[in-house]
Chains A and B, each alone.
Chain A
Amino acid sequence: KNQVEQSPQSLIILEGKNCTLQCNYTVSPFSNLRWYKQDTGRGPVSLTIMTFSENTKSNGRYTATLDADTKQSSLHITASQLSDSASYICVVSATAGGFKTIFGAGTRLFVKA
């Protein structure tokens, strides 16, 4: 069964601190993995996208890693800012005669001053 599991469910950190969000998946055959940031009541915004051959990708203070062997990904946020407070969603796509996209439940991040 194609699944995407994220942890933790929620996280509270102080401004300026770093944090790491986890994503485990069982999607097959794997096509790509994306991390999105979603502010409350807004549409998700793409942060990174990685294919099978990529194991790290950065976008400013966001760095995503991918281990295709263990089917795990992480999103590392450096020097967090109040504006980083949002839900972070891991999305994995499969290629099987089309495009199947599976969303994780997301991690809700709260950055406090």
Chain B
Amino acid sequence: DTEVTQTPKHLVMGMTNKKSLKCEQHMGHRAMYWYKQKAKKPPELMFVYSYEKLSINESVPSRFSPECPNSSLLNLHLHALQPEDSALYLCASSQGARRASRTDTQYFGPGTRLTVL
């Protein structure tokens, strides 16, 4: 199984809603990532989890709250978002050895298309 799955595929929410994005992988990877991608732009890193612990937070607003319940799952909780948060949210995973591996490739999920009204 070399797949990263994300649910839902599409999400429309109001600025007062609370929703969650989910990501799952069964490749035994120990590093998981959240990216935000606007149209015609490269993905921007938001969070990195390594061995279920948050290791990188790229100064993301607190209205985005990540959670890693176990080594296979990664959630992104959303609350009080703004219309400018509308984007494609990508999850990725990699082997994530404790020492950085020169061949550590990130495998991406299909993304969740988020629209904030």
Contact partners of B6 in chain A: CB under 8 A: 43
From known contacts A42-B110, A45-B108, infer whether A101 and B103 are also in contact, taking CB-CB under 8 Å: no
- Smallest Cβ distance from B101 to chain A, in angstroms? 8
A residues with CB within 8 A of B: 31-32, 34, 36, 41-46, 49, 51-52, 89, 91, 93, 95, 98-99, 101, 103-106, 108
Contact partners of B88 in chain A: CB under 8 A: 41
Q: Within the assembled complex, what's the spacing in Å between the Cα atoms of A111 and B103?
A: 31
Interface of A is mostly: strand
28 pairs of residues in contact across A and B, judged by CB atoms under 8 Å: A31-B102, A32-B102, A32-B103, A32-B104, A34-B106, A36-B108, A42-B110, A43-B4, A43-B6, A43-B90, A43-B92, A43-B111, A44-B43, A44-B108, A46-B106, A51-B102, A52-B102, A89-B42, A91-B106, A93-B104, A99-B31, A99-B48, A99-B100, A99-B104, A101-B45, A101-B106, A103-B42, A106-B42
Interface size class on chain B is 20 to 34
From known contacts A41-B113, A43-B109, infer whether A51 and B103 are also in contact, taking CB-CB under 8 Å: yes
- Indicate whether B17 reaches chain A with its CB closer than 8 angstroms: no
